[in-house]
């Protein structure tokens, strides 16, 4: 029996009946009802070296410190496994030190976001809360001027290219073509990456922000298992960190969630300048997962190997598609309060333009940010004075122009019941030389009033009195496509997509 097996068996007995053992290529985790222990495996790869007990101990200490930033309630301590004179193992005993392990509080594996995604349990509320936590984490993470920029990404590409070629996942011609496209894209965005590095956007991030490394712990979305073995892989552009989550959601077909995270992140963090790099970042993340999955398949059982190779191919195909050029466009969704504008915008956004979809600029959210309050906090009546509303619409147009110029699709979500406001948003698209689509949502007054009265924790402060005033004085813009928002949602979305196509 190997020392690793010996230690794992000792820990299994310690955590009690029903213990689970999970193996990765670099670790073994023993999970009990109350505690979990992670053991570093004695392995060495191009990107990490756990070949000696001292290196594994240092990695365990670093893992504890790194992960207590996002999950202090999970990561408890490091413990030494020792062997006594009688040959018995102990935690922090007096005998010969064998390994240093990380002690954690355990949680139900069903609460991993990976498993929740498979069961359809990830909600918009949960993803919004996760995004809020990520914004705060990135804001407080330690900046670095020593690592980052275009040169750092070039080094990552060099490692990725070698691993992808060695994986035998695809033909040399396909891999060469993909890598050439990546390098060309990196050359294009290199000045942007260097500017972001100079602006302090390179920080000590998580580095492995996939759904497998996020859980719902005591009701709170909690990232854990951050990269601890290589500072270069985790001291990165904050958007490259976010890109792993966006890519993983996209890979799983959860594009609406990816777009939601993208929009809530940009609502709270001024990272719009980095939009041209985001599809590239996502493609690199997908490429890395492609060769990791393909490499894991080589040592797996026949059944597991087939599944891993299939997943690797899907990752590579996703990476290729993320680099395909897609034009920007501006879609304006207008209608009286309660007509369903925000619901349609959320359903439409993921499929517009390049990944992760359209930037949604909602007048309600922009008004709240203008006043420095949370999106669900109600504002006083004076916050809706004509002069304030004019400023809000001007901010929508200015940000739409900025985003369009950077190549990302935009959805402008506002009432747009005045001819001048509608004309100005159309002119914004013209200034950006982007296609424009105007959609107007129709609904009976009773339906809109019912939606307004049923709102809870919503960015809109509209009341039925506001709705009645809009109906008296407002009108649909000339030339915009009218859609019946009372019809089945799937049909409404299909009609909107057809109009955008």
pLDDT tens-digit series, residues 137-157:
999 999 998 888 999 999 999
Is pLDDT of 269 > 80? yes
How far apart CA 350 and CA 230 sit, in angstroms, is 33
Mean pLDDT over residues 296-310, rounded?
Answer: 87
pLDDT in tens, 473-494: 999 999 999 999 999 999 999 9
Q: How many separate helices (H) and strands (E) can be counted in the chain?
A: 18, 17
For residue 204, give the H/E element and its range: strand 202-204
3-state secondary structure of 499: helix
Checking DSSP bridges between strand 436-442 and strand 481-484, what pairing results, if any?
A: parallel
How far apart CA 2 and CA 443 sit, in angstroms, is 70
Could you tell me which residues come within 8 angstroms of residue 234 by beta carbon, excluding any fewer than 6 positions away?
A: 66, 204, 205, 206, 207, 208, 226, 227, 228
Q: How confident is the model at residue 297 (pLDDT cuts 50, 70, 90)?
A: confident
Could you tell me which residues come within 8 angstroms of residue 390 by beta carbon, excluding any fewer than 6 positions away?
A: none
Q: How confident is the model at residue 168 (pLDDT cuts 50, 70, 90)?
A: confident
How far apart CA 16 and CA 30 sit, in angstroms, is 10
Instruction: Label residues 123-145 b or e (16+ Cβ within 10 Å = b).
Output: eeebbbbbbebbbebbeebeebe
Q: How confident is the model at residue 393 (pLDDT cuts 50, 70, 90)?
A: very high
Secondary structure, 3-state, 259-308: HHHHHHHHHHCCCHHHHHHHHHHHHHHHHHHHHHHHHHHHCCCHHHHHHH
How far apart CA 111 and CA 66 sit, in angstroms, is 22
Which residue segments constitute the domains of the chain, with CATH numbers given? Answer: 3-106 (no CATH), 113-322 (3.90.1200.10), 330-500 (3.40.50.300)
Give the pLDDT confidence score for residue 359 in this predicted structure. 98
Give the pLDDT confidence score for residue 1 in this predicted structure. 58
Checking DSSP bridges between strand 214-217 and strand 202-204, what pairing results, if any?
A: unpaired
pLDDT in tens, 184-204: 999 999 999 999 999 999 999
3-state secondary structure of 136: helix
Dihedral sign, Cα of residue 459, residue 464, residue 466, residue 467:
positive
Checking DSSP bridges between strand 75-83 and strand 96-105, what pairing results, if any?
A: antiparallel
Q: Give whole-number Cα distances, 444 to 89, 414, 449, 472, in Å.
A: 74, 18, 9, 14
Q: Tell me if 472 sits within 8 A of 465, measured CB to CB.
A: no
Q: Give whole-number Cα distances, 83 to 3, 16, 86, 256, in Å.
A: 11, 20, 8, 52
pLDDT in tens, 425-437: 999 999 999 999 9
φ, ψ for residue 216, nearest 5 deg: -95, 100
How far apart CA 153 and CA 379 sit, in angstroms, is 44
How far apart CA 307 and CA 422 sit, in angstroms, is 51
Mean pLDDT over residues 114-128, rounded?
Answer: 97
| Residue 354 C-beta-side C-alpha neighbours within 13 Å | 24
Q: What integer best gives the mean pLDDT of the chain?
A: 95
pLDDT in tens, 19-70: 999 998 899 999 999 999 999 999 998 778 999 999 999 999 999 999 999 9
How far apart CA 232 and CA 227 sit, in angstroms, is 10
Cβ neighbours around 211 below 10 Å, total? 22
How far apart CA 2 and CA 98 sit, in angstroms, is 12
pLDDT in tens, 26-37: 999 999 999 999
How far apart CA 222 and CA 290 sit, in angstroms, is 25
- H-only helix segments in 141-230: 149-166, 172-198
Percent of the chain topping pLDDT 90? 88
Secondary structure, 3-state, 401-438: HHHHHCCCCEEEECCCCCHHHHHHHHHHHHHCCCCEEE
How far apart CA 463 and CA 437 sit, in angstroms, is 28
What angle (nearest 5°) sits at the alpha carbon of residue 338, between those of residues 337 and 341? 85
CA distance from start to end of the chain: 62
Which residues are registered as beta bridge partners of 200? none
Tokens of 111: 């609460």
Give the pLDDT confidence score for residue 303 in this predicted structure. 85
Instruction: Label residues 256-283 b or e (16+ Cβ within 10 Å = b).
Output: bbbbbbbbbbbbbbebeebbbbbbbbbb
């Amino acid at each position: 029996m190997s020392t690793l097996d010996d230690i794992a068996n000792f820990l299994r007995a310690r955590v009690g009946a029903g213990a689970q053992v999970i193996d990765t290529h670099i670790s073994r985790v023993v999970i009990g009802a109350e505690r979990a222990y992670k053991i570093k495996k004695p392995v060495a790869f191009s990107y990490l070296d756990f070949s000696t007990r001292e290196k594994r101990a240092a990695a365990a200490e670093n893992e504890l410190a790194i992960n207590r930033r996002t999950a202090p309630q999970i990561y408890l301590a490091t413990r030494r496994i020792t062997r006594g004179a009688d040959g018995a193992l102990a935690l922090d005993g007096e005998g010969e030190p064998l390994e240093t392990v990380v002690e954690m509080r355990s949680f139900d594996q069903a609460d991993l976001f990976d498993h929740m995604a498979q069961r359809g349990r990830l909600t918009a509320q949960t993803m919004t809360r996760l995004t809020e936590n990520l914004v705060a984490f990135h804001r407080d993470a330690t900046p670095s001027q020593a690592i980052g920029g275009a040169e750092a990404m070039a080094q990552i590409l060099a490692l990725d290219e070698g691993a992808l070629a060695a994986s035998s996942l695809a033909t040399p011609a396909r891999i060469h073509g993909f890598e050439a496209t990546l390098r060309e894209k990196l050359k294009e965005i290199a000045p942007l990456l260097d500017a972001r590095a100079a602006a302090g956007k390179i920080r000590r991030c998580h580095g492995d922000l996939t759904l497998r490394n996020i859980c719902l712990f005591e009701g709170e979305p909690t990232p854990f298992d951050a990269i601890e073995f290589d500072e270069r892989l985790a001291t990165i552009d904050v958007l490259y960190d976010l890109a792993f989550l966006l890519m993983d959601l996209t890979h799983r077909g959860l594009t609406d969630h990816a777009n939601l995270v993208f929009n809530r992140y940009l609502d709270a963090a001024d990272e719009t300048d980095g939009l041209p790099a985001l599809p590239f970042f996502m493609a690199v993340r997908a490429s890395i997962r492609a060769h990791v999955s393909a490499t894991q398949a080589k040592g797996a059982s026949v059944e597991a190997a087939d599944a891993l190779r299939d997943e690797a191919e899907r990752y590579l195909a996703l990476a290729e598609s993320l680099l395909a050029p897609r034009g920007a466009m501006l879609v304006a969704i207008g209608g009286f309060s309660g007509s369903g504008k925000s619901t349609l915008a959320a359903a439409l956004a993921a499929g517009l333009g390049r990944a992760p979809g359209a930037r949604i600029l909602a007048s309600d959210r922009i008004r709240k940010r203008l006043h420095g309050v949370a999106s669900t906090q109600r504002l006083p009546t004076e916050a809706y004075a004509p002069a304030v509303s004019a400023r809000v619409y001007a901010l929508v147009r200015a940000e739409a122009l900025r985003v369009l110029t950077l190549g990302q699709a935009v959805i402008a979500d506002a009432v747009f019941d005045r001819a001048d406001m509608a004309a100005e948003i159309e002119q914004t698209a013209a200034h950006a030389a982007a296609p424009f689509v105007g959609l107007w949502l129709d609904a009976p007054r009773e339906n809109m009033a019912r939606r307004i009265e049923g709102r809870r924790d919503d960015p809109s402060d509209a009341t039925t009195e506001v709705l009645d005033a809009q109906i008296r004085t407002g009108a649909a813009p000339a030339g915009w496509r009218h859609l019946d928002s009372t019809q089945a949602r799937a049909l409404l979305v299909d009609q909107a997509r057809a109009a955008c196509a």
